Structure 1
Amino acid sequence: MRKIDAIIIGSGQGGMPLAKKLAKAGWQTAIIEKRLIGGTCINDGCTPTKSMISCAAAAYTIANSKEWGITVDSYRINLEKITDRKDKVVSKFRDGATKGLEETEGLSIIYGEAAFSGPETVTVRLHNNDETEEILTAKHIFINAGTSPKIPPIPGLDKVSYLTNTTLLDIKKLPSHLVIIGGSYIALEFGQMFRRLGSQVTLLEASAQLLKREDEDVAAAVRKVMETAGITVHTNANIHKVEQTGDTVRLSVASGGQTMAITGSHLLVATGRTPQTKALQPEKAGIALDEKGYIIVNDRLETSVTGIYAIGDIKGGPAFTHISYNDHFIVYKNLVEKGNASIKDRPVPYCMFTDPQLGRVGMTEKAAREAGFKVKVACLNYENVARAIETGHTEGFMKAVVDADTDKILGAAILGAEGGEVMSVVQMAISGGFTATQMHEMVFAHPLYAESLNNLFTTLKK
């Protein structure tokens, strides 16, 4: 048994910086990784998908180049080269992350699968030829083990060759028809990407709208983007069964009062994520879980067991890389700097990297009204944004929710070119307590997309 100061389970976007900071603060630290350094973001999520999405965007620009007065006679998609490029980008990020950990004094990397054997003890089944075990004990343990794809109990699904967001990244042959179960971020980003690369795409969403947590007008606008791109969308879709014949997957689907048969060459299951808690055996440490298996934490990210913390997706709540990264600040400030940091009331910005992007921060209109606010809503179509007209990217709209009593901005949805960047400007305004009137009167450089925030908040004056 090796006694150290801190054990970190998982090398995601919260675990890695926390491990380095604790080690540099003089804590003898070990970080345990069962698969690849970097977690989901680097290996299966943000880095690889955005690398491939950029290739699909290039294909779209070429295919539609006549709109900009440029004629391209022909082009072809080389999916193998696209995935090779993606792999190089991922390797660069992962190798850099690994090197950063390896070069940190006082920090050791252990490759293996961790499980609790007590409140302060973790047993690691090492990834070596002997499959030996190492037992570690520490007063402080941080769980950054993340989530994995959630597979719904659809009859026949376990008997077909379906793909997840991880396995779809490595296919070398372009699907002739990609059928996607799901209607949120992963489904929409992959759906648009493969449509632009040349696949027929069908989306099946069980809820009444895509992006079920967004306002209806935002979800409807996103659906229009998908359908304009040639993607078939079925909402309120109830999948009765799935079966496979040779290379063809067949789904029996009820939607819109009728039952239909949908066949495809490939099937992507993108119905959410599930926490990777079972293998950790949290019950042996007394760690409380919620009904879905996520680790329950307080506002300081401490679990039901003193000294054990959960950061990132495994604790539930917003499942974003930047939230995991911010989590590490919370625990570090409190434990090392003796601060009083909390996750309570922190902003949760996020961006869906479809084209156009959907940048979101703060409250939706629906949430604001349910919370009892008297709200004003500002809307501006991208067709009226100068920069969008000049660049030829006029799809989408801006929406801001404002407290009618105080004029403070409660939230915003920016569906449009560089929507995430424009949303970040609004986020800073919210954090700084700016009012809608101040944003209306703000001086922005012309002709930026952000400049259109002047006009967005002007709509409240009409």
Structure 2
Amino acid sequence: MQDSAPRTRPDNEDLLLRRVRPQDWTNPEPKGVYDLVIVGAGPAGLEAAEWAARRGFSVALIERHRLGGNSLNAGSVPSKAIIRSALAYDLMRETDGFGVPIPREPVLDFAAVMARMRGIRTRIAEYHSVEQLAALGVHILFGAARFASANTILVNDIGLTFKKALVATGARPRIPDIPGLGGMEYRTSSTIFDMTALPKRLVVIGGGPLGCELAQAFCRLGSHVTIVQKSAKFLPREGRDAAEILSWAMARDGMDIRLNTTVAGARRDGDAKVLETLNYDMKGEIAADEILVCAGRVPNVEMLDLAVAGVAFDTDCGITVDDFLRTGNPDIYAAGDVCLPLKFTNTAQSSARVAVQTALTQGRQRHDSSLIPWCTYCDPEIAHIGLHVWEARRQSIPIRSFTVMMTDVDRAITDGQEAGFVKIHVAEGSDKILGATIVASRASELINEMAVIMSTGIGMTALAEVVHTYPAQSGAIMLAAQAYQRYFDKAARLSSAGEA
């Protein structure tokens, strides 16, 4: 069942729609055989369309709902806007520690918070709008798409013939099978940003990146938030040390945290929505005004008639692709959330570039997720790139980790942002960097430095000599490299002494 919370039409929705789904839009007549037909206009589809059109290829872009996909309309953009408002509100209540006390308790205007979010979403939509794409020569068609043959797609029963096709239909919220949940209204990432009033009590089901981000944001805005996670820690893709720092931060904010807890049922009790929980053998109940389901995402593969085109897929894992993002049909490729386990905007964009270059230029570039950074935008932020320790062990790769705590970084101390660390994993016996985890207030920015370092092959020895501004939180990266250099010098001295 789809999430059932009622939708509203914000006042500035008309401008957004003119950019992402004009109400008076008429699909263009198909023209011959397209070099590339793209199904889905999220980050992957938009990236592919713009790349191909700028190089002179004929492109048709099909979208069922709105341009921008989840990232623009119900994901990265709106969530980060609300997170920023929540951070600002939280900082106003902590100014005493900086010597600038506020004479009275700050007042939250939730309507203004949501209006700001919608304004930001509308502004960013302009950069990949219908008008911008049409000016590039992209044929934009709104409607449901399905394959009619190995080289034909139907859009509202109108056929488009292609030389190459890219499926970039993304993913949607996964709804867990909870008895009683389908009979009541609940929110997902698709509808949480339509709320007009701040809920007094909010329950978040799921402790992945989006669940943790929104739980902390709404807690800081003033909701009493309970977050329920079935496993023993938050953020399954992150290390335990990073997840524990996040747990401490959320507990400090006043959040009710339920780890190792499953939701066994849901029911209504008057105006309240009640979740029945199970923690080992202990039963419990959580009453709330709103329920937010953040239990992962499932790929959008249904109703495309992929089998007709010779494309193999799984409803849980998505479309099957090789390292070049080709499907079982050599003329059809896939990119982004519909085929990849890492469901992030930058992953979708990167994979789309690889797919379209291979499809249209006979390139042989492989999609490599090992150098794609990601970040969970809580406070502190948690970012990662490359291998984790357990992944290295599973692959029998000996590594050594060098860690700098943010409590030892001058800029973090002056900013009062000392929670977290920088941890860099190095191949044993060399200075090659294999991965890094950063937990810090600015981890989303610091991890980009690590992405440049790793993609260009800079080792720890050279990194130790790179001059950073002072003071800066990125100085933690330099300190980690210098720690490696001291370790290497000590090992060399001991080796020399042993030989002597």
Q: TM-score range by the shorter chain?
A: over 0.9
Superposition deviation, residue 285 in structure 1: 1.4
> Is residue 2:145 matched to residue 1:114?
yes
Deviates more, 1:108-117 or 1:95-104: 95-104
SS of residue in 2 equivalent to 1:136: strand
Q: For 1:102, which of 114, 134, 149 is the aligned residue?
A: 134
Q: For 1:430, which of 426, 436, 454 is the aligned residue?
A: 454
Which one-letter code corresponds to 2:323 in the other structure? D
Q: For 1:89, which of 117, 120, 123 is the aligned residue?
A: 120
Match of 1:46 in 2: 76
> Retained in 1: the 8 A contact 2:370–2:385?
no
Q: Residue by residue, what CA displacement relative to the aligned partner does 1:129-169 show, whole Å, maximum 9, x if unpaired?
A: xxxx3221112111111000000101111112110012111
Superposition deviation, residue 414 in structure 1: 0.6
Q: For 1:4, which of 33, 38, 43 is the aligned residue?
A: 33
SS of residue in 1 equivalent to 2:266: strand
Structure 1 distance, partners of 2:427, 2:271, is 54
> Retained in 2: the 8 A contact 1:318–1:348?
no
Superposition deviation, residue 338 in structure 1: 3.6
- TM-score (ref. length: structure 1): 0.94
Q: For 2:56, which of 11, 16, 26 is the aligned residue?
A: 26
> Retained in 2: the 8 A contact 1:4–1:29?
no
SS of residue in 2 equivalent to 1:400: strand
Structure 1 distance, partners of 2:37, 2:478, is 49
Match of 2:98 in 1: 68
> Is residue 2:158 matched to residue 1:134?
yes
> Is residue 2:277 matched to residue 1:253?
yes
SS of residue in 1 equivalent to 2:237: coil
Superposition deviation, residue 222 in structure 1: 1.7
Written as runs of structure 1 = structure 2, the 5 A alignment for 1:132-281 is: 133-281=157-305
> Retained in 1: the 8 A contact 2:469–2:475?
yes
> Retained in 1: the 8 A contact 2:230–2:259?
yes
Aligned residues: 454
Q: 1:407 to 1:256 in 2, by over 3 A?
A: farther
> Retained in 2: the 8 A contact 1:400–1:412?
yes
SS of residue in 2 equivalent to 1:36: coil
Superposition deviation, residue 293 in structure 1: 4.8
Q: 1:120 to 1:364 in 2, by over 3 A?
A: same
Structure 1 distance, partners of 2:269, 2:360, is 58
Q: Residue by residue, what CA displacement relative to the aligned partner does 1:257-292 show, whole Å, maximum 9, x if unpaired?
A: 421111111110000001111021212212101362
Structure 2 distance, partners of 1:121, 1:387, is 57
Match of 2:13 in 1: none
Superposition deviation, residue 459 in structure 1: 4.2
> Retained in 2: the 8 A contact 1:42–1:94?
yes
Structure 2 distance, partners of 1:373, 1:16, is 38
> Retained in 1: the 8 A contact 2:48–2:356?
yes
Q: Residue by residue, what CA displacement relative to the aligned partner does 1:294-330 show, whole Å, maximum 9, x if unpaired?
A: 0011111111112111111101221111111112221
Structure 2 distance, partners of 1:454, 1:390, is 18
> Is residue 2:85 matched to residue 1:55?
yes
Q: Residue by residue, what CA displacement relative to the aligned partner does 1:28-70 show, whole Å, maximum 9, x if unpaired?
A: 2211111111111111111111111111111011111111111
Structure 2 distance, partners of 1:177, 1:307, is 50
Q: 1:411 to 1:446 in 2, by over 3 A?
A: same
Structure 2 distance, partners of 1:2, 1:122, is 13
Unpaired segments of 5 or more residues in structure 2? 1-29, 488-500
> Retained in 2: the 8 A contact 1:202–1:231?
yes
> Retained in 2: the 8 A contact 1:147–1:274?
yes
Structure 2 distance, partners of 1:344, 1:387, is 34
Structure 2 distance, partners of 1:210, 1:201, is 15
Superposition deviation, residue 2 in structure 1: 5.5
Match of 1:375 in 2: 399
RMSD: 1.7
Which one-letter code corresponds to 1:86 in the other structure? M
Superposition deviation, residue 112 in structure 1: 0.6
Deviates more, 1:422-431 or 1:178-187: 422-431
> Retained in 2: the 8 A contact 1:277–1:293?
no
Which one-letter code corresponds to 2:110 in the other structure? L
Which one-letter code corresponds to 1:140 in the other structure? K
> Retained in 2: the 8 A contact 1:386–1:452?
no
